[in-house]
Amino acid sequence: MQSTSPNFTQNAKDALQDDPLQAALAKLTDGFPIQRLEAAARLPEFEDLRDEARDIKTHVLENLDLYLEAYEKKVVESGGHVHWCQTAEDARETILKICQNANAKTVTKSKSMISEEIAVNDFLEENGIEPVETDLGEYIIQLRDEPPSHIIAPAIHLSKEQVADTFRDAHTDLEKDRPLDEPRALLEEARAKLRTKFLSADVGLTGANMLIAETGTNVLVTNEGNADLTNNLPRVHIVIASIEKIVPTLEDATTILRVLARSATGQDISVYTTFCTGPRQLNDLDGPEEYHVVLLDNGRTDMIGSEFHEMLRCIRCGACLNHCPVYKSVGGHAYGWVYSGPMGAVLIPNLIGMEEAQHLPHASTLCGKCESVCPMRIPLPKMLRRWRERQFKAELGSTRARWALKSWVWLVKRPRIYRLAMNMSVAILGQIGFRGRFKSLPFAKGWTSKRDLAAPTGDTFLSQYHNGARGDQSGELIRRGGRK
Amino acid sequence: MSNNTSPRVGLFATCLVDLMRPVVGFAAVKLLEDAGCIVDVPVAQTCCGQPAYNAGDTSDTIDIARQVITSFENYDYIVVPSGSCGGMLKHHYIELFEGDSEWAPRAQAFADKTHELLSFLDDIMKVSLTGLKLDATVAYHDSCSGLRELEIKKQPRALLNAVDGLNLVEGTEAETCCGFGGLFCVKYPDISEKMVDAKVDDIVATGADTLVAGDLGCLMNIAGRLQRRNIDIKVRHTAEILANMTHGPAIGDPMDDA
């Protein structure tokens, strides 16, 4: 998809004015984070599991080539096919070819962020194949022709009224007086439409939460069961996954599952967890006749060994979005591409380029909440700083801000001159700020547009202190401090 | 108070305290001296370099870090009345010098004896405050770096609880960022406004008449927004209360309003 990341500032402004979005985001604050906290509290070993999960992925990334080859071998042994794709274009072409070989007219899809990343829906449509999203949230945004605004809750930005309007627009056979006020009614409407698609689809396209090297299995986690109908009913099952989704063993997969849902939604485990291994076997009652795995690189190997290496541990739980005060203020669309929040701000520049996404690493207070909840303990703030560093080296961003910083640095490195300059500035600001604060200051508009600015309260601390002042200690209450 | 065993403390006042709110510096000196420290305020100090670091200007940050380490490394302790600058001195300086055989050990030794003021008083000096009185309902804001980089949570609350008459109340979002974020608040003022409004609403809901925190950046941001919204809640650095230096104006208040 075409990114709108360069317009982040305007996107954010618009998002802040969007009342239904703000109402939806307010609900997010009371939902997932509290549920995560409760789920973690129910599991005493939760913090240890986070360490274990991190170590599993760290180990995988150090031996990725070996595990990928081992995984491929197992997939082939079980009768499946593995397609190695370096770019998004390769992956789209590969998927199209498999669909064409199957004479596919309809492709059902369960939610996959990688499929968003490679924008496969548009491509299939251009080639005369109908892709149908079957995750409720994805189905809604597909009807609205919008990107997901959250990696696990793609339509979280919408109210149920907006969803009802969307269905009325898209489902032309829907009776006008049929009530769609309740979530259940919306669900039933979508379910009825999707049921016929599930049954008529020629190909089912799913993502993978994990790929298990030991068995050649892909793991699918959903709350709606739509992935199971997607991978089981059509004649062909295609899995699209990026290469870092590998874990060594079934045991490792279950360790990661124990932190995944708890971090994401606060569930102990999602409603459906499915393990798919190869096509239908001789005595199987159901399952696809063909099983294909499209393994995508799309920039991942460039991240290995770089300062963004640890980002490849990400299991896409969305905890960093749910806890990010910036995400909760503006929602996912403001970030301008398929990912969002802190993980998006680190990942997007890797995928669409640092210049295109240059706002994103700055749109953070580096408050550290994301890192504190990340099940894989990814140092997201540190990586945002690394992007800022790369940008600074490449001289991206406003020249004025750069010069302001450089002048300030020049002063900071020269304590004597700095002292003189600060004494002067404080004297001037103190004079004009005699009311204690400023309502507006021409050189500090960014600040004073939203808040008052406290004025300096006198000479600098250092000059007062070295002139013998010790502060106002005239209070009638004497405080004595001492050691316990 | 001082004798041979008294620790020698270099006070890193921080640029914001130096420029905007000297009373925090005086309060820090008083608290440290009352705790038995010999306090020095080196004149060569300017800023910890965080604005440059967060802007991606690493090479200048390294120069600034060298300057700070050189001016302070001979003290027994370096104490800083800010969690944010404290996190910079204690954690990020080490990252800056990774792999530098001369400076990495110096940064590590410097970090090991650097402490944020309130955690230093509570954890290291084991201070117990007596004879303090302030009739106020006080909400405490956990600044992000103090909380998450330095694990400052209990110490300021323990110290504040020793003040007679002070009723400490907790906001449900005490640990949520106030939206300051250094240059973030001027680069993205709209998002910052949304965040600081959420913070202000949370503080108002506690019924507090005073807000305190350990970081002047957050305090100026929150005070400025409270004042823009005409909400009468006084904002002060925790050290001002603990040093009984609340006779002057609160942050952003006029001089005669004390």
pLDDT digits (tens, 9 = 90+) for A376-427: 999 999 999 999 999 999 999 889 999 999 999 999 999 999 999 999 999 9
Distances (CA, A) of A192 to A111, A195, A205, A231, B128: 18, 5, 20, 19, 68
Measure in Å the smallest separation between the Cα of B44 and chain A Cα atoms: 5
Give the one of B22, B56, B187 whose C-beta lies nearest to A458's C-beta: B22
Minimal-distance CA residue of chain B relative to A423: B19
Whether A6 is covered by a domain: the verdict is no
CB pairs below 8 Å between A and B: how many? 271
- Answer yes or no: do A130 and A276 share one domain: yes
For the entire predicted model, the pTM comes to 0.95
Give the one of B21, B180, B253 whose C-beta lies nearest to A365's C-beta: B180
Whether A211 is covered by a domain: the verdict is yes
Segment A344-359, tens digit of pLDDT? 999 999 999 999 999 9
**Mean pLDDT value of segment A423-442:** 89
Task: Tell me the C-alpha distance between A349 and A443, whole Å.
Answer: 31
Please identify, among B123, B144, B169, the residue that sits at the C-terminal boundary of a domain. Answer: B123
Residue from A363, A319, A268, A356 nearest A150 by CA:
A319
Pairing of strands A130-133, A217-222: unpaired
Distances (CA, A) of A143 to A108, A112, A114, A223, B227: 14, 16, 19, 21, 46
- Answer yes or no: do B115 and B137 share one domain: no
Task: Tell me the C-alpha distance between A415 and B64, whole Å.
Answer: 11
Residues of A in contact with B24 (CB under 8 A): 461
- Answer yes or no: do A281 and A190 share one domain: yes
**Mean pLDDT value of segment A196-223:** 97
Residue from A197, A195, A196, A218 nearest A208 by CA:
A218
Q: Binning pLDDT at 50, 70 and 90, where does residue A458 land?
A: confident
Q: Does A400 touch chain B (CB under 8 A)?
A: no
Q: Does B194 touch chain A (CB under 8 A)?
A: yes
Q: Binning pLDDT at 50, 70 and 90, where does residue B258 land?
A: very low
Number of domains in chain B: 2
pLDDT reported for residue A472: 76
Q: Does B185 touch chain A (CB under 8 A)?
A: yes
- Answer yes or no: do A226 and A185 share one domain: yes
Whether A18 is covered by a domain: the verdict is no
In the predicted model, is pLDDT for residue A477 greater than 50?
no
Minimal-distance CA residue of chain B relative to A478: B131
**Strand, coil or helix: B237:** strand
**Mean pLDDT value of segment B57-82:** 98
Total Cβ atoms within 10 A of residue B2 = 12
Task: Tell me the C-alpha distance between B136 and B208, whole Å.
Answer: 8
Q: Does A446 touch chain B (CB under 8 A)?
A: yes
Minimal-distance CA residue of chain A relative to B236: A454
Segment B174-210, tens digit of pLDDT? 999 999 999 999 999 999 999 999 999 999 999 999 9
Measure in Å the smallest separation between the Cα of A2 and chain B Cα atoms: 23
- Answer yes or no: do A344 and A431 share one domain: no
pLDDT reported for residue A473: 67
Question: Mean of the per-residue pLDDT values for chain B?
Answer: 96
Pairing of strands A453-454, A437-438: antiparallel
- Answer yes or no: do A162 and A234 share one domain: yes
Contact indicator for A330, A11 with CB cutoff of 8 Å: yes
Please judge whether B145 and A329 are an interchain contact, meaning their C-beta atoms are less than 8 angstroms apart.
no
In the predicted model, is pLDDT for residue B98 greater than 70?
yes
pLDDT reported for residue B1: 47
Residues of A in contact with B60 (CB under 8 A): 406, 409, 413
Minimal-distance CA residue of chain B relative to A433: B254
pLDDT reported for residue A286: 92
Q: Binning pLDDT at 50, 70 and 90, where does residue A471 land?
A: confident
- Answer yes or no: do A84 and A43 share one domain: yes
Q: Does A7 touch chain B (CB under 8 A)?
A: no
Q: Binning pLDDT at 50, 70 and 90, where does residue B4 land?
A: low
Q: Residue A348 maps to which CATH number?
A: 1.10.1060.10
Contact indicator for B208, B185 with CB cutoff of 8 Å: no
- Answer yes or no: do B250 and B147 share one domain: yes
Residues 6+ apart with CB under 8 A from A172: none
Q: Does A438 touch chain B (CB under 8 A)?
A: no
Segment A247-282, tens digit of pLDDT? 999 999 999 999 999 999 999 999 999 999 999 999
**Mean pLDDT value of segment A367-376:** 98
- Of chain A, the percentage scoring pLDDT greater than 70 comes to 98
Minimal-distance CA residue of chain A relative to B148: A368
- Answer yes or no: do A346 and A429 share one domain: no
Measure in Å the smallest separation between the Cα of B161 and chain A Cα atoms: 14
Residues 6+ apart with CB under 8 A from A19: none
In the predicted model, is pLDDT for residue A180 greater than 80?
yes
Please judge whether B34 and A452 are an interchain contact, meaning their C-beta atoms are less than 8 angstroms apart.
no
Please identify, among B107, B123, B139, the residue that sits at the C-terminal boundary of a domain. Answer: B123
| Mutate which: B159, B177, B245, vs A, most A CBs within 10 A | B177
User: Could you tell me the residue range of the domain that residue A453 belongs to?
Assistant: 399-466
Number of domains in chain A: 3
Distances (CA, A) of A150 to A25, A112, A240, A264, B247: 11, 12, 19, 11, 49
Whether A316 is covered by a domain: the verdict is yes
Whether B1 is covered by a domain: the verdict is no
DSSP state of B121: I
Please identify, among B123, B141, B164, the residue that sits at the C-terminal boundary of a domain. Answer: B123
Residue from B25, B92, B32, B30 nearest B58 by CA:
B92
DSSP state of A166: H
Chain B stretch 41-70, residues whose beta carbon is closer than 8 A to a beta carbon of chain A: 41, 43-47, 49, 51-58, 60, 63-64, 67
Minimal-distance CA residue of chain B relative to A373: B148
Measure in Å the smallest separation between the Cα of A22 and chain B Cα atoms: 11
Residues of A in contact with B22 (CB under 8 A): 457-461, 464-465, 471
Task: Tell me the C-alpha distance between A177 and A183, whole Å.
Answer: 16
Q: Binning pLDDT at 50, 70 and 90, where does residue A430 land?
A: confident
Q: What are the strands of the beta sheet with B38-40, ordered from one edge? A: B38-40, B8-11, B77-80, B114-116
pLDDT reported for residue A370: 98
Sign of the alpha-carbon dihedral angle for B49, B51, B53, B59: negative
pLDDT reported for residue B91: 97
**Mean pLDDT value of segment B97-105:** 97
- Answer yes or no: do A276 and A416 share one domain: no
Higher-confidence position of A480 and A444 = A444
For chain B, where are the alpha helices, taking DSSP H only?
15-20, 22-34, 50-54, 58-72, 83-87, 93-96, 103-112, 117-119, 144-150, 154-161, 184-187, 189-206, 216-228, 238-242
Q: Residue A130 maps to which CATH number?
A: 3.40.50.10420
Tell me the sheet residues that pair with B249: none
Please judge whether A437 and B25 are an interchain contact, meaning their C-beta atoms are less than 8 angstroms apart.
no
Task: Tell me the C-alpha distance between A421 and A405, whole Å.
Answer: 15
Amino acid at residue number B181 = G
Please judge whether B24 and A330 are an interchain contact, meaning their C-beta atoms are less than 8 angstroms apart.
no
Segment A5-64, tens digit of pLDDT? 999 999 999 999 999 999 999 988 779 999 999 999 999 999 999 999 999 999 999 999
Task: Tell me the C-alpha distance between A232 and A130, whole Å.
Answer: 18
For A175-291, where are the alpha helices, taking DSSP H only?
183-200, 226-232, 250-264
Residues of B in contact with A387 (CB under 8 A): 56
Hey, what long-range contacts does A38-42 have (CB within 8 A, 24 or more apart)?
A38/A266, A39/A261, A39/A262, A39/A266, A39/A267, A39/A268, A40/A262, A42/A268
Q: Residue B161 maps to which CATH number?
A: 3.40.50.11810
- Of chain B, the percentage scoring pLDDT greater than 70 comes to 97
**Strand, coil or helix: A42:** coil
User: Could you tell me the residue range of the domain that residue B197 belongs to?
Assistant: 129-257
Whether A70 is covered by a domain: the verdict is yes
Question: Mean of the per-residue pLDDT values for chain A?
Answer: 94
Residues of B in contact with A436 (CB under 8 A): 249, 252-255, 257
Whether A168 is covered by a domain: the verdict is yes
Minimal-distance CA residue of chain B relative to A8: B188
Residue from A297, A451, A356 nearest A3 by CA:
A356
Higher-confidence position of A47 and A442 = A47
DSSP state of B62: H
Please judge whether A465 and B26 are an interchain contact, meaning their C-beta atoms are less than 8 angstroms apart.
yes
In the predicted model, is pLDDT for residue A475 greater than 80?
no
pLDDT reported for residue B256: 65
Residues of B in contact with A444 (CB under 8 A): 186
- Answer yes or no: do B141 and B216 share one domain: yes
Minimal-distance CA residue of chain B relative to A331: B191
Please judge whether B128 and A368 are an interchain contact, meaning their C-beta atoms are less than 8 angstroms apart.
no
Q: Does A310 touch chain B (CB under 8 A)?
A: no
Q: Binning pLDDT at 50, 70 and 90, where does residue A483 land?
A: very low
pLDDT reported for residue B3: 56
